[in-house]
């Protein structure tokens, strides 16, 4: 007998899929940054299988975070076919993207004030313009919105160009990496293409993960049958395996020809394998979402507050122009057990922060706003 699934169940599964994806992505990032700040270099053994395995999965944090961001906005863009509603979504997306970019640059500001740069050195300016994950997300969201807007204007499917751009960003990454962009472009622009200026997340290859998430998010929202969650899972699993097997195969040939492997250092095979692993993660989340009827509220809240959690935990751990971070006091001085305790404490702190922020946004702020508005009305009256 064919199983009939209600639209309510379908919507619930989709929301759970998104919340799970964002929750895991942000707390993988909190975990990775905490370990990076606390764990002593004596316990980071390059030849250790355990350490390299952890390093690989830590390397999945940013791709998964970018994939989740693209997915969420892909779903958001396809929630309506109404031009008026899409314009409203577009304006909100532009404001959000610009805010993310500004926050990203403010967090890297060499001075507390943007008007006092008298003693700022070139190295500080270089660090300021270096592209981090927030700037990348902001600009990539604007590109994603631009592609979706053009697709709506000329009546074509945005999924194919997004997938094409994703693969181009991924495949041409080794070539783009060889170009000395800083010789051709000013620092503010060359940082978007080159890691030589200190950028951690240039557009190539990192933008690929967000565009891939956007493509799958558009597909996910457009379909109206519950079974497409299974189809989505199968497609992601298939391509994920192809990328991983391809990366391992290329690495095998590198070993065979050169008797050496650069997999963990400069090889593009590491990027390909991460791309494949992110797809497999997405596949697993889609399957899990089908069987789960509900998730804890704190998880949903943390998912919605992922940007705020990211900003706060980075400032606590690494510091900024306005505060000293944990790195200044305990940086790379703890053993494995103490580092694990630190990770648990940081995750707990971020969950408490998220709950407090949710209460402020949903309860405290509306009360304050209502009281202020009522007072203003009385004064006018």
pLDDT, residue 294, reads 78
| Pairwise CA distance, residues 191 & 194, whole Å | 5
Q: Does residue 323 sit within a domain?
A: yes
SS3 track for 81-119: CCHHHHHHHHHHHHHHHHHHHHHHHHHCCCCCCCCCCCC
Residue 68 to residues 20, 140, 262, Cα–Cα distance (Å): 10, 13, 29
Instruction: Name the residue range of residue 248's domain.
Output: 7-380
The answer to whether residues 23 and 303 touch, using CB atoms and an 8 Å cutoff, is yes
Model pLDDT for residues 20-58, shown as the tens digit of each residue? 888 888 988 999 999 999 999 888 877 777 777 778 778
Q: Look up residue 31 and give its two tokens.
A: 């975990």
* In-domain check, residue 145: yes
| Residue 1 counted as domain residue | no
Percent with pLDDT over 70 in the chain: 92
pTM across the whole model: 0.85
- Report yes or no on 158 lying in a domain: yes
Per-residue pLDDT, averaged over 173-188, amounts to 88
Taking the alpha carbons of 24, 27, 31, 36 in that order, is the dihedral positive or negative? positive
**Within a 13 Å sphere around the CA of 229, how many CA atoms are in the beta-carbon half?**
22
Question: Distance (Å, rounded) from C-alpha 16 to C-alpha 289?
Answer: 6
Residue 98 CA to residue 104 CA, distance in Å, equals: 10
Residue 172 in domain: yes
Share of the chain above pLDDT 90, in %: 34
Selection from 98-102, 247-251, 296-300 with the highest mean pLDDT: 98-102
* One-character DSSP codes across 184-233: TS-HHHHTTT-TTTT-SS-HHHHHHHHHHHHHHHHHHHH---TTHHHHHH
In a domain, 212, yes or no: yes
pLDDT in tens, 250-301: 888 877 777 777 665 666 777 788 888 888 888 888 788 777 777 889 998 9
Asked if pLDDT for residue 1 goes beyond 60, the answer is: no
Domain count, the chain: 1
Does residue 2 lie in a domain region?
no
Residues 6+ apart with CB under 8 A from 346: 30, 31, 34, 313, 316, 317
Quote the pLDDT of residue 151.
Answer: 94
Answer yes or no: are the C-beta atoms of 286 and 67 closer than 8 Å.
Answer: no
Residue 313 scores a pLDDT above 90: yes
Alpha-carbon dihedral sign for residues 251, 256, 262, 264: positive
- Identify whether 94 is part of a domain: yes
């Amino acid at each position: 007998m064919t199983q009939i699934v209600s639209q309510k169940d379908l919507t619930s599964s989709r929301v759970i899929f998104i919340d799970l994806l964002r929750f895991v992505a942000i707390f993988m990032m909190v975990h990775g940054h905490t370990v990076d700040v606390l764990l002593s270099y004596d316990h980071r053994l390059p030849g250790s299988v355990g350490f390299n395995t952890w390093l690989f999965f830590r390397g999945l944090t940013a791709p998964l975070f970018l994939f989740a961001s693209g997915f969420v906005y892909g779903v958001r863009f396809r929630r309506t076919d109404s031009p008026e509603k899409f314009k409203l979504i577009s304006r909100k997306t532009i404001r959000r993207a610009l805010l993310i970019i500004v926050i990203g640059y403010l967090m890297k500001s060499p001075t507390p004030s943007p008007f006092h740069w008298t003693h700022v050195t070139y190295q500080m300016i270089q660090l300021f313009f270096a592209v981090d994950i927030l700037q990348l997300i902001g600009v990539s969201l604007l590109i994603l919105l631009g592609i979706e807007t053009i697709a709506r204007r000329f009546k074509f499917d945005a999924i194919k160009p997004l997938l094409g751009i994703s693969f181009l960003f991924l495949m041409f990454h080794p070539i783009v990496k060889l170009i000395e962009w800083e010789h051709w472009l000013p620092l503010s622009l060359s940082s978007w293409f080159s890691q030589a200026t200190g950028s951690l997340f240039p557009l190539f290859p990192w933008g690929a993960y967000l565009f891939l998430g956007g493509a799958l998010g558009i597909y996910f929202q457009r379909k109206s049958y519950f079974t497409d969650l299974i189809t989505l899972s199968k497609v992601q699993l298939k391509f994920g395996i192809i990328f991983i097997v391809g990366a391992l195969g290329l690495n095998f040939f590198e070993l065979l020809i050169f008797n050496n492997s650069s997999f963990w250092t400069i090889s593009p095979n590491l990027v390909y394998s991460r791309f494949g692993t992110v797809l497999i993660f997405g596949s697993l989340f889609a399957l899990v979402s089908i069987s789960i009827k509900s998730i804890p509220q704190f998880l949903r809240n943390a998912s919605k507050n992922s940007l705020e959690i990211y900003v706060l935990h980075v400032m606590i751990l690494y510091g900024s122009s306005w505060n000293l971070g944990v790195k200044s006091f305990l940086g790379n001085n703890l053993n494995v057990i103490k580092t694990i305790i630190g990770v648990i404490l940081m995750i707990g702190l971020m969950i408490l922060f998220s709950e407090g922020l949710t209460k402020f946004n949903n309860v405290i702020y509306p009360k304050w706003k209502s009281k202020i508005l009522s007072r203003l009305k009385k004064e006018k009256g």
